Amino acid sequence: MKRRRRRGILLLEAVLALAIAGILLVSIMWIVDGALQMSNEMADDGREHMTQEALINFLDRNFSQLPGNAEVELERQDAGSHFLSDLTFQNVPTSFSWSGQAISAEAVQLSTIPTRSGDLDVVLRYYEEAILDDSDSTADVNAEPVAEITLLKDVFFFEWWARDGRALGDDAQGYTETWDVRGRLPIQMELRVKFDENSDEIVHHFWLPPKLNPESVVRSQRRAAPQGRAGSSGRSSTGRDAGRGRESDARRESRGNSRGSDRGTPTRSAPPSRGSGSRPAPPNPGGAGR
């Protein structure tokens, strides 16, 4: 009887030990799984944050590098739950490129596209044809992009606002939802973005430094060139006329002096003295002739 009790107690202890070990193992697995999930979430958040920061830096760098002859157009469309925007750039060969290499695209467009989940995708499109009217080309409304890059996925909202440099003192009228001014760039672009429904709204400003339009500089130089030629020809002709006038005056003076020397005090011959002529002198009164 004592041996049987001792075996039963040992079996019960073994069962309890196994149960405790199982509970410990399950707890450890839960802890490890939670730690892995947390690390994955932190890694995903870190990647998303890096992607967002990379996008902001990418936009900031390219906005600051826009040339003076760039054309910018901002269009906005109400899609019900979202506002869709198309921000188009033209004549930007070194902007929105990778590694600073010039791109062959004629125009670049930054657009928002609705997704099935109800969010937005931010894409960058490259066009080989001009899609905006400018001084050198006419827009091709049927142009298709030759390349498309998705910059962000599943964004809650992504909205652009343009600021007119001529209304900097008025914040209410300075920002506009659309921009279609040809030959002039906005002074600032404002981006309002919310990456997901639970995140905070981020407002970022991109400055567009004013730059000279090379086409305007060339036109002004061409206009100034004929005026410069006319002025130089006028000055040269005036100099020639003045030189000719001085020469003619000198000639007149020389002629006058020569004439004056010829006309100067005339030389008169002295009257003939008595007895010096051919006629005989009168007889002396009281002389021998009487």
Residue-wise pLDDT tens digits, 70-124: 899 999 999 888 899 999 999 887 778 766 566 678 899 999 999 998 899 999 9
Q: Please state, in angstroms and rounded to a whole number, the distance separating the CA atoms of residues 147 and 42.
A: 33
Residues 6 or more apart whose Cβ sits within 8 Å of residue 30 = none
d(CA 90, CA 112): 18
Residue 24: inside a domain, yes or no? no
Q: Does 96 reside within a domain?
A: yes
Cα dihedral 96/97/102/105 (nearest 10):
-70
Compute how many other C-beta atoms are within 10 angstroms of the C-beta atom of residue 251.
Answer: 10
Question: Given a cut of 50, is residue 17 above it in pLDDT?
Answer: yes
Q: How far apart are CA 241 and CA 246, in angstroms?
A: 9
Closest CA to 157 of 121, 117, 109: 121
Of the candidate ranges 168-177, 219-228, 255-264, the one whose mean pLDDT is the lowest: 255-264
Counting residues of the chain whose pLDDT is more than 70, the rounded percentage is: 66
Which of 33, 53, 30, 29 shows the shortest CA–CA distance to 41? 33
Beta bridge partners of 202: 193
Q: Has residue 224 been placed in a domain?
A: no
If you count them, how many residues does the chain have? 290
Query: Is residue 44 domain-resident?
Result: no
For residues 3-31, average pLDDT: 81
Instruction: Tell me: pLDDT of 175 over 90.
Output: no
Domain count of the fold of the chain: 1
- The letter for the amino acid at 151 is L
56-79 b/e (C-beta count within 10 Å ≥ 16 → b): eeebeebbebbeebbbbbbbbeee
Flag the least confident range among 28-32, 133-137, 284-288: 284-288
Say if 289 falls within a structural domain: no
Residue 262 tokens read as 């010829």
Summarize the confidence of residues 22-35 as an average pLDDT. Answer: 93
Does the pLDDT at position 190 exceed 60?
yes
Does 282 fall in a domain?
no
Domain containing residue 94 = 65-214
Q: Determine, yes or no, domain membership for 250.
A: no
Decide if 49 is inside a domain. Answer: no
pTM of the model: 0.63
pLDDT on residue 264: 44
Query: Which pLDDT does position 21 carry in this prediction?
Result: 93
Whether the Cβ atoms of residue 175 and residue 161 lie closer than 8 Å to each other:
yes
